[in-house]
Amino acid sequence: MSVPIRPLDDPDARAEAARILRAGGLVAFATETVYGLGADATDETAVAKIFAAKGRPRFNPLISHVPDVETAFALGQATEAARAVAQAFWPGPLTLVLRRAEGCPIAWLTSAGLETVAIRVPGKPDARALLAEVGRPIAAPSANRSGRVSPTNAAHVAAEGFDGLDVILDGGACTVGLESTVLDVSGETPRLLRPGSVTREQIEALVGPIELAGHGDAITAPGMLASHYAPAAPVRLNATELRAGEVGLDFAGHLGAEADLSPTGDPVEAAANLFALLRALDRQGVAAIAVAQIPEAGLGAAINDRLRRAAAPRG
């Protein structure tokens, strides 16, 4: 039952892993920062599998990895600051948060419903060779279970015992060993969302003063909740019926509503549909959204965590 480990520098292993990724599977692979748990970033169901494998997750937006700068700026809109830091630090341990480009194929679950996408061109050449072979952006958070430290070699990844992981591509020990610097260059002034080995000073030398957003992990830091997608309509949870003026977001057909996260009651399917359906309801300009009860099992916990935030009083 143990997951196969193959060399990242073996072209045959990369070709096989690329096929697995294009078919919606999970591949862990080395980068220069930490090992990533990768899936096709354009495939909602494949991305849902990442969250399921990590266990008790939250739907934080994930980084999409691409082989070159040109691909990165086809997915996200380049600003002047984005181009400057990309030229200096890509390929490398820097992630840029950019506004979605027109027609960007990155799944809504990958970006947790946000209008921005996080993109990285990794420094490790064999990782870029894998990405080029796949031909699609690869969503990859660090390949550890929720709450555990990030893996910096293949044995660490194997020890996590992920469900649904198809193969580990071993690229040896990570040379950086720390997650990438995350810089939001989608607005007027760049904001440092997560410190990393590309430092604030290095960035400021290129683009001038930047803003700092809390410490450590951007999204788990309090005060960063604004960077979660919130539907425009108010949200009522655990609905057992639809009230006047409400439109239903159903699960397993309980409300008889048209929009159903998973008619069969499958939490992975429900996770895959969550942000896309919330957005579709929002676009219809509905007055209120009533959400059916969703069991806490599996990804249900993450879905409910997200929905509770969506239903919380707006600040």
Which residues form the interface with Mg ion (CB under 5 A)? 142
Q: How far apart are CA 95 and CA 97, in angstroms?
A: 7
Residue closer to Mg ion, measured from CB, 54 or 100? 54
Q: Does the protein bind ligand TXA through residue 169 (CB under 6 A)?
A: no
Q: How far apart are CA 161 and CA 29, in angstroms?
A: 15
Q: How far apart are CA 250 and CA 293, in angstroms?
A: 8
* Binding piece for ligand TXA, criterion CB under 6 A, among 14-22, 114-122, 162-170, 253-261: 114-122
> Which two three-digit tokens encode residue 276?
């896309």
User: 72: how many CB neighbours lie within 10 A of its CB?
Assistant: 24
- Are 15 and 262 spatial neighbours (Cβ–Cβ below 8 Å)? no
Q: Does the protein bind ligand TXA through residue 182 (CB under 6 A)?
A: yes
Cis link prior to 91 (omega < 30° from 0)? yes
Q: How far apart are CA 129 and CA 8, in angstroms?
A: 9
Residue closer to ligand TXA, measured from CB, 51 or 251? 51
- Are 198 and 58 spatial neighbours (Cβ–Cβ below 8 Å)? no
Question: Binding-site residue total for ligand TXA (CB under 6 A)?
Answer: 29
Q: How far apart are CA 289 and CA 280, in angstroms?
A: 11
Residue closer to ligand TXA, measured from CB, 117 or 158? 117
Residue of minimal CB distance from Mg ion?
A: 142
Q: Does the protein bind ligand TXA through residue 141 (CB under 6 A)?
A: yes
Residue of minimal CB distance from ligand TXA?
A: 36
Residue closer to Mg ion, measured from CB, 79 or 227? 227
Q: Does the protein bind ligand TXA through residue 62 (CB under 6 A)?
A: yes
Q: Which residues of this protein are in contact with ligand TXA, per CB under 6 A?
A: 31, 33-34, 36, 60-63, 95, 97, 111, 114, 116-118, 120, 140-142, 179-180, 182, 184, 193-194, 217-219, 227
